[in-house]
Structure 1
């Protein structure tokens, strides 16, 4: 199967008929015999009233999930950094992507397998984006990746009036799959729905405007809505969710230029935040090379692995390659929420992906790790979680102080 790679299999739960197979990091597809064996062992366990959720071999991790008693998703990863937490979230995202573009009804009541296969092709680009090593973390945190900009209030006012003029309450400005500003009703959508919409827009081929039918996996899985998007400046789009009216041509012809042409410069300024996700005026310690800040109440996050891009550009060789930074920060986040930080469940209680060490009844609020080429520090409050990636030369005793000051900058001065 090659060195490194990830394989995603989708089959009907009742008969095991393959619907599609997607891969990353390897040019070889899984043989049909392997696909049949992976599904067969799961079906055998199910017939014996045994739930086979996952297994680890010497060089691979495999996770099985059945959704709506209709679709079986199997992921096989050959990457050492792929944890069970990540793989389970990957399968949840993939099924949500299928619901987003096909609708839950066609996935639950499969009447024509060949037709469903054709319909699912529309999901491939979105599904493949979840298999890649992204420059966002919403797939892992289930929060919406955001960007902080200087002219946020100006853009917000224009967005609110533009959305109302387009006969909708749901709108946002988006850049590379990250939300710049959004209407109040947009933020009231289920966090997973907002995250999926952002990933969908980022996965589509850039175009001037589009009228895209979508289902909301949490809010409206069986009734479609229209997602209208308009390119304001290269790299920045405005999106609205609406019903049968207005038409795409009507909004594009009568509203887009009237509302957004006067704001061309603030919109172009958003692109300067693409690497860092927040303005250069936000002060950060030079030892920080990456961070992930999560607003737990609003399900929003800020993420970057180029916290000080000017210093990275000044060095002939980047201190730590960007892919390595992404892997390190995502792995630390997974470790923290798996072992130390409680996870809010739907019933309002807290739970851990793994049990905390025996004998401890309290919840950890800070944790850190030290490796040869970097250090990580995480802390959480009632509203926020902050995970920071440091250069290895930063003294371990200074991590807590730097992290605390960094959190204050974003929560007090910028009110994120």
Structure 2
């Protein structure tokens, strides 16, 4: 199983904003984080842009956004397992190097893009483009932790659990994880009717409990690939199960400065109906309409 650590810092001052870690190894100390940031800044001062590098057991990727937030991703093997293996097999060094080649590169660079856009999704681009008030940003960014942890869990290679059986690839390919039910066309039509009629929005979809989209309105599929990946993740990232959710979201490409609302209603233990809408209607009215509208379809879903 992989170990993955995400570090966010102010690109101007180098002050750490947060560190999120998944895996059995310990997260890097602040001294190591400072050294990694120092290496990047030294390269910049010499006219060199440091993108990524590799050690025998880890890949490290740097990326700066809007000259404001710098993200560092450390992605590698469980070194404690490697030490145990090396004690019994001297040939494991080459195999560990080969496994390390699976990390880093374009995949981790695109993952950092997705991570930054997940911050935009919940905080807005304005909050991230200016880090003049570091302490406030460090406090505000905590709301992003559940979504960030979902992304890191996928990188860690954790299967099963709340995400159900089977792998999910949306964070790698930047395309929504989907399921194609037999009556997809009818479901798409009903989603369109519900979202436009009861949520005053043309952006609607049905999402399974493991994060896969079952059906979406025509307009929903016009959202950017990043938005299509992050919205189902955000819906299911809550640590405790809910019957309904109402979250302000800044669509990273469509509307990074003006918030929409992500309304989600849990129809059954396996299916959510979702709409991305404006300030109206209220969650209570949408909850009532969902029960009335989707009641006849529960058995079919």
Is 1:157 the equivalent of 2:189? yes
Q: How far is the alpha carbon of 1:10 from its aligned partner?
A: 0.4
Does 2:116 align with 1:95? Answer: yes
Specify the alignment match of 2:33 in structure 1. 35
Q: Which has the higher helix share?
A: 2
* Matched residue SS, 2:246: strand
Encode CA deviations 1:111-136: one digit per residue, 9 max, x unaligned.
Answer: 31111111111111111111122631
| Displacement after TM superposition at 1:87 (Å) | 1.3
Alignment partner of 1:146 is 2:144: no
Structure with the bigger percentage of strand:
1
What is the alpha-carbon distance in structure 1 between the residues aligned to residue 106 and residue 236 of structure 2? Answer: 24
* Aligned twin of 2:50: 52
> Residue 202 of structure 1 aligns with which residue?
236
Residue 230 (structure 1) aligned to one of 265, 278, 299: 265
2:76 and 2:229 mapped to 1: Cα distance? 27
Note the 1:365-384 alignment, pairs <5 A: none
Work out the CA distance in 1 between the residues paired with 2:264 and 2:2: 37
| Aligned-residue offset at 1:29 | 2.3
Contact 2:200–2:277 under 8 Å retained in 1: yes
Is 1:248 the counterpart of 2:249 in the alignment? no
Q: Which residue of 2 aligns with 1:180?
A: 214
Question: What RMSD in Å do the two structures reach over aligned CA positions?
Answer: 1.4
Relative to the length of structure 1, the TM-score reads 0.62
List runs of 5+ in structure 1 lacking aligned partners: 268-416
Look up the SS of the partner of 2:259 in the other structure.
strand
Whole-angstrom CA distance in 2 between matches of 1:212 and 1:173:
17
Question: Bigger radius of gyration, 1 or 2?
Answer: 1
Indicate yes or no: 2:199 matched with 1:169: no
| TM-score for both structures, normalised by structure 2 | 0.84
Match for residue 212 of structure 1? 247
1:33-70 CA distances to partner (integer Å, 9 max, x unpaired)? 10110000101111121101111122221111001111
Structure 1 residue ranges (4+ consecutive) displaced by more than 6 angstroms after TM superposition: none
Gaps of 5+ in 2: 78-99, 160-166
Matches within 5 A, 1:10-409: 10-79=8-77, 80=100, 81-132=102-153, 133=157, 135-165=167-197, 166-175=199-208, 176-204=210-238, 205-253=240-288, 255-267=289-301
How many residue pairs get aligned? The number is 264
